[in-house]
């Protein structure tokens, strides 16, 4: 064989060797990542059922101190949470030492301070479990049980970006009124034999109070994030106009995602992928009302998108508002870890997992069966949407690796 032919042959063999090696390494990395995703899923399922108990082992810290130490830039709580039951028990039972009107917003809520100085947000029951909210996908009052269910879905999806939420019954006459501020107390009234209040907010009206069953009111309490982590509010790039006949740009411009990718903080870092995760999360729970979102301040796009205010969810189990998925089907990207987790949850696993996660909540059953069934069906729609993207652009383009080692030291 001539020298030139030998050199060409060696060059071809070298190229084949390099490509083979790279391919094998990529496959090994992907396989290892998938195995870790599967192990994480099994760990989540094993620790899913949370029994509310006051017992805190091997620590002298209060539940509030433990929860505050959990918060880091990319998580509200860690993967392993043996103290979660004790923290949620404290949220559901600790004495209320002060009650005030809720922070600014459009919906009725109360700001409570529990024994030990911990702030929580109380959202009252407005609807029965089987009530169907008709009209626009963002219509109706806040649903307190939606906050509870959304928190547990956040656990199941492995996002860990939602503040802790638990159901609670409060006696308005003996627990709230004696410690209420004048501003809150002035909104109390009686309807028949029921104690009611209407609070202070944009849509709060004396003619539309939330009423207890006698004096006992069912609601949800959301743990206030530590003050050392101040929040920054952002307009959601896929927010609605809420004006009849006026569409947002994303509703008519199919190339809208390309424009978003050129603007900060979506042009680099994890924020755009957080938006995609949030679209999946909101579609599953039927939340079409995320017009703004919060992150931690001065984060330069590195902080997580915090899943706050999920109460406009679970309104109508028969309504699948596909436009909630616009960030997913317009950008056609999704985290590999999210894609894997969604696949592990199909075939009824999601419904079963939520049943298990919420079984010990004080207001259980948290959701009606139609809402749980609807989530299983919506999950299939999410998977089908990703499949359409991979068919069009290929898996290497659509499935994005985004793993950040996290520390809770």
Catalytically active residues are: 289
Binding site residue list for Mn(2+)? 142, 309
Q: What is the bridge-based pairing of β-strands 231-235 and 165-171?
A: unpaired
Binding site residue list for ATP? 107, 123, 222-225, 294, 309
Taken in order 93, 94, 97, 99, the sign of the CA dihedral is negative
Exposed / middle / buried, residue 405 (Cβ in 10 Å: 0-12, 13-18, 19+): exposed
Distance CA 282, CA 220 (A): 19
Distance CA 100, CA 211 (A): 17
**Which residue do the tokens 């004006």 mark?**
243
Q: What is the dihedral of CA 298, 272, 321, 156, to 10 degrees?
A: -80
Contacts of 248 (CB under 8 A, 6+ apart): 238, 239, 240, 241
- For helices 3-46 and 336-344, give the axis angle rounded to 10 degrees: 50
Binding site residue list? 107, 123, 142, 222-225, 294, 309
Reduced to 3 states (helix: H, G, I; strand: E, B; else coil), residue 70 is: helix
**Do residues 189 and 196 touch, judged by C-beta distance below 8 A?**
yes
CA angle 169, 174, 180 (to 5 degrees): 95
**Do residues 74 and 303 touch, judged by C-beta distance below 8 A?**
yes
């Amino acid at each position: 064989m001539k020298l030139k032919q030998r050199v060409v042959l060696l060059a071809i063999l070298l190229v084949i060797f390099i490509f083979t090696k790279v391919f094998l390494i990529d496959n090994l990395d992907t396989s290892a990542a998938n195995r870790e995703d599967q192990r994480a899923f099994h760990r989540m399922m094993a620790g899913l059922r949370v029994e509310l108990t006051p017992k805190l082992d091997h620590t002298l810290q209060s539940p509030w101190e433990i929860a505050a130490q959990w918060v880091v830039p990319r998580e509200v709580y860690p993967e392993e949470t043996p103290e979660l039951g004790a923290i949620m028990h404290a949220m559901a039972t600790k004495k209320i030492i002060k009650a005030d009107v809720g922070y600014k917003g459009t919906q009725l809520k109360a700001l409570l301070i529990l024994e030990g100085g911990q702030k929580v947000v109380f959202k009252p029951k407005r609807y029965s479990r089987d009530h169907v909210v008709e009209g626009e996908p963002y219509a109706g009052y806040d649903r307190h049980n939606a906050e509870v269910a959304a928190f547990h879905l956040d656990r199941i999806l492995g996002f860990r970006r939602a503040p802790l939420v638990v159901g609670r019954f409060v006696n308005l006459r003996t627990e709230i009124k004696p410690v209420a501020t004048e501003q809150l107390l002035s909104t109390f009234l009686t309807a028949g034999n029921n104690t009611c209040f209407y609070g202070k907010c944009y849509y709060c009206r004396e003619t539309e109070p939330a009423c207890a069953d006698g004096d006992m009111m069912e609601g949800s309490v959301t743990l206030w994030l530590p003050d050392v982590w101040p929040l920054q509010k952002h307009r959601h790039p896929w927010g609605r106009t809420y004006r009849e006949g006026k569409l947002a740009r994303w509703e008519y411009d199919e190339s809208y995602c390309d424009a978003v990718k050129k603007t900060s903080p979506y042009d680099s870092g994890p924020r755009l992928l957080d938006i995609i995760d949030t679209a999946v999360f909101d579609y599953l729970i039927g939340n079409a009302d995320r017009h703004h979102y919060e992150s931690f301040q001065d984060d330069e796009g590195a902080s997580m998108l915090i899943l706050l205010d999920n109460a406009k969810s679970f309104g109508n189990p028969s309504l699948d508002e596909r436009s909630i998925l616009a960030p997913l089907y317009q950008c056609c990207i999704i985290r590999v870890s999210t894609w894997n987790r969604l696949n592990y949850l199909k075939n009824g696993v999601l419904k079963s997992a939520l049943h298990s996660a919420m079984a010990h909540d004080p207001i259980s059953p948290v959701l009606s069966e139609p809402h749980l069934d609807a989530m299983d069906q919506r999950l299939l729609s999410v998977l089908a949407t990703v499949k359409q993207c991979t068919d069009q652009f290929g898996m290497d383009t659509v499935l994005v690796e985004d793993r950040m080692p996290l520390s809770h030291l």
